Amino acid sequence: MENNLLQYLLVTIILFAGMLLYFKLADKYNIIDKPNERSSHNYITLRGGGIVFWLAGVLYAAFNLPESLYFLIGLTLICGVSFWDDVSSLPNKVRIVIHFLSISLVFYGLGLFVLLPWWLIVIAYIFFVGIMNAYNFMDGINGMIGLYSLVVLIALQYVNYQEAFHCGHPQGMPLRLQSPAINPDFINYAILACIVFLFFNFRKRAKCFAGDIGALGLAFWMVTLLIQLMLATNSVIWILFLAVYGVDTVCTILHRLYLKQNIFQAHRLHFYQILVNERKQSHLTVAAGYAGVQLLICGIVIYAYECGNEIEQWCIGAAIIMVLLLVYLLKFKKTDEK
């Protein structure tokens, strides 16, 4: 235990040092985010602070090779092309190809090509690449992606340890301590990266933004964790750990399609953007609200998994989605009132 704490302390120090070094480089090479009419901020800020998630992934892989090799390659590919896009825009088709290639590495490393039929593989590709891009769409205000991800990671770690204690007993009482399905460090390193990033980002005037490298890199990490947990528990209910992001993203895409807008261009139609830009709520309040709602949903999902059968779980899941849809509809009411 003491060795783990020392290891986490060392990792945290390295992540802080890496961020400070990056700030100097970003300032020197003018890697900045300039606000425009579609932005939710009004000041120039360093871009690419999400490089901390790539650095955390490298540190984790350094202690856990060769089993983390495919994850590291996939993370490096997606962070590399995303950082390039942060500095100099890339065509959408180039980014999408890298997204699918990175996900392919995860699928191969976890054996999905053997475990699943081809049609489920196709659905998985579309679904998980969609999740990564949804994460990128939702990265628009201070504290949002870091705080939301921190909540989800803590919930994932809780389930990871609960599965270790309750494996195999019909009443859920522990028979013996099992090894967690996911290496706890794999989650803890991501948690540490979120904490370090939030130190610089969860402020009224953020020191840095995550950029595509942060949003997509962290999303890739989350997708890998979710797939591992789904395989370990033989349940897909854990996708509800991203329910708030999912409902906001899907509904906003549908709204933009209805308006005949290009969904790949910047906009201000997400619910969180309406709250910040139209309703004048603070970035930190809205970010904390999103994280708080997702924390509540995570608790409900965990309770449903531990206490209910599969039908009950999906009924609860459907109820969660319906409530979120109703909340999302308030976006239009508030906009009309204004």
Q: What is the pLDDT of residues 18-41, one digit of tens each?
A: 999 999 998 888 887 766 555 566
Contact between 188 and 157 (Cβ < 8 Å): yes
272/261 Cα distance (integer angstroms): 19
Count of domains observed in the chain? 1
Counting every residue written for the chain, the total comes to 338
H-helix segments, the chain:
2-28, 51-63, 69-87, 92-110, 112-115, 118-137, 144-166, 184-201, 211-233, 243-258, 271-273, 283-307, 310-337
What is the widest separation between alpha-carbon atoms in the chain? 60
What pLDDT was estimated at residue 216?
Answer: 95
Q: What backbone phi and psi angles, to 5 degrees, belong to 193?
A: -65, -40
Q: What is the mean pLDDT of residues 275-296?
A: 93
pTM: 0.90
> pLDDT of 59-84, one tens digit each?
999 989 888 999 999 999 999 999 99
Q: How many CB atoms lie within 10 A of CB 2?
A: 6
Range of the domain at 328: 2-337
Q: Is 34 left (phi over 0), alpha (psi -120 to 50) or beta?
A: beta
For the beta carbon of residue 174, count every other beta carbon within 10 angstroms. 13
